[in-house]
Structure 1
């Protein structure tokens, strides 16, 4: 059993960093999966709905807030989001095994990137650069992390419409920089990120 983990939102100037952990069932249609960056927003959302609708896909989302990013640094906050995603998946996996009366086993984990978070309760864990382009479980995780974060940034745009989060999702675009110049930092600003260019 293989669990893929990936993150979204390490680079933006605002909002949380998000991670997803995914175990795909045997027979899942892997032809719909790609690295989330290689899919359009519409296609990502279509695949998200398919993953969520399949009761045999085991998944969980983890978050680390902008406050945690400022307190810990972006790498450690990313690891925290990954740990939270995996612990959520671990609990779901236990529930599924109980419901199906099957023996519980800890999955192997592949994390996209070159560093490994401090994850407990797994049989083995390894980091693989560009796993989101070669491991289907990681591709699925990249899609769920990206779409979850994008949807969260849409909700933040309802609270803080002057920042345009629905358009740039917190990345350092010209529009976002102008909004920060005009309005000051928003409540979800990553204050530890350099704003010297603003």
Structure 2
């Protein structure tokens, strides 16, 4: 076979195909490079499966205990000066697999967008909860975060039978477990992290058009230099959290 024929064949070859052993005795440098590339690909796939298996520890444990609708819950947007806090609740199927899924903060924007679409397509159920800036000012960000999570649970299209929550405890009728840094330890929470992050980022991009000059499409409402300059020049918008410093230090302009 030619080098190109071998390269094409190796793209879909089974791991234990006898042809691989035969190719080891082919002294052509091009063939050996193809084998090396194939081996690297196998090692990458192996590591991805191992990493994914670690992330399913809590879910598999619950499945064995008889729970079937395990909801992972996470939020994004506690720290920004503007915009809502957004929570997501995600129930995955037991056979769900998405290599590379992890805490949304560790993923590139392109990967988050890619995984967001896959999770939406493959998840058993997704619920979103959102608390706007005005209510955050009234009840405080901690209570707003809990309320957003409870809304996300109520917006699922089925009742979960167990909750895995990132670093929070909620007053709900469902049994639950709070996991510190859960978005890097539970696949369900990681999925919720991606859904919440992309949902909020997309909303802040819309706000960037509605309220130009603050850089909301780039900073997602966090207190960057551009954002603070926008506050100085344009004042406070309706989506700013007036109880947060330094927003509360600015007088409303216009």
Q: TM-score, normalization: structure 1? A: 0.87
Q: Is the counterpart of residue 119 in structure 1 residue 187 in structure 2?
A: no
Q: Give, in angstroms, the shift of residue 107 of structure 1.
A: 1.6
Q: Match for 2:190 among 139, 144, 159?
A: 139
Q: Does the 8 Å CA contact 2:73/2:164 hold for their aligned counterparts?
A: yes
SS of the counterpart of 1:63? Answer: strand
Q: Match for 2:144 among 58, 77, 82?
A: 77
Structural mapping, 1:40-79, within 5 Å: 40-54=108-122, 56-79=123-146
Structural mapping, 1:33-44, within 5 Å: 33-44=101-112
The answer for unaligned runs of 5 or more in structure 2 is 1-67
SS of the counterpart of 1:13? Answer: coil
Q: Give, in angstroms, the shift of residue 183 of structure 1.
A: 0.7
Q: Is the counterpart of residue 190 in structure 1 residue 190 in structure 2?
A: no
Q: Does the 8 Å CA contact 2:213/2:227 hold for their aligned counterparts?
A: no
SS of the counterpart of 1:32? Answer: coil
Matched pairs, number = 181
CA distance in 1, matches of 2:190, 2:124: 13
Structure 1 moving runs of 4+ over 6 Å: none
Structural mapping, 1:172-191, within 5 Å: 172-191=223-242
CA distance in 2, matches of 1:127, 1:73: 21
Corresponding residue number in structure 1 for 2:210: 159
Q: Does the 8 Å CA contact 1:86/1:119 hold for their aligned counterparts?
A: no
Corresponding residue number in structure 2 for 1:109: 163
CA RMSD of aligned residues (A): 1.5
CA distance in 2, matches of 1:146, 1:41: 10
Q: Give, in angstroms, the shift of residue 152 of structure 1.
A: 0.6
Q: Which has the higher contact order (CA 8 A, sep 6+)?
A: 1
Q: Match for 2:158 among 53, 77, 93?
A: 93
CA offset digits 1:115-172 (Å, max 9, x no partner): 312233x2x0121101111100000000000000001101111111122211111001
Q: Give, in angstroms, the shift of residue 110 of structure 1.
A: 1.1
Q: TM-score, normalization: structure 2? A: 0.68
Q: Does the 8 Å CA contact 1:32/1:47 hold for their aligned counterparts?
A: no
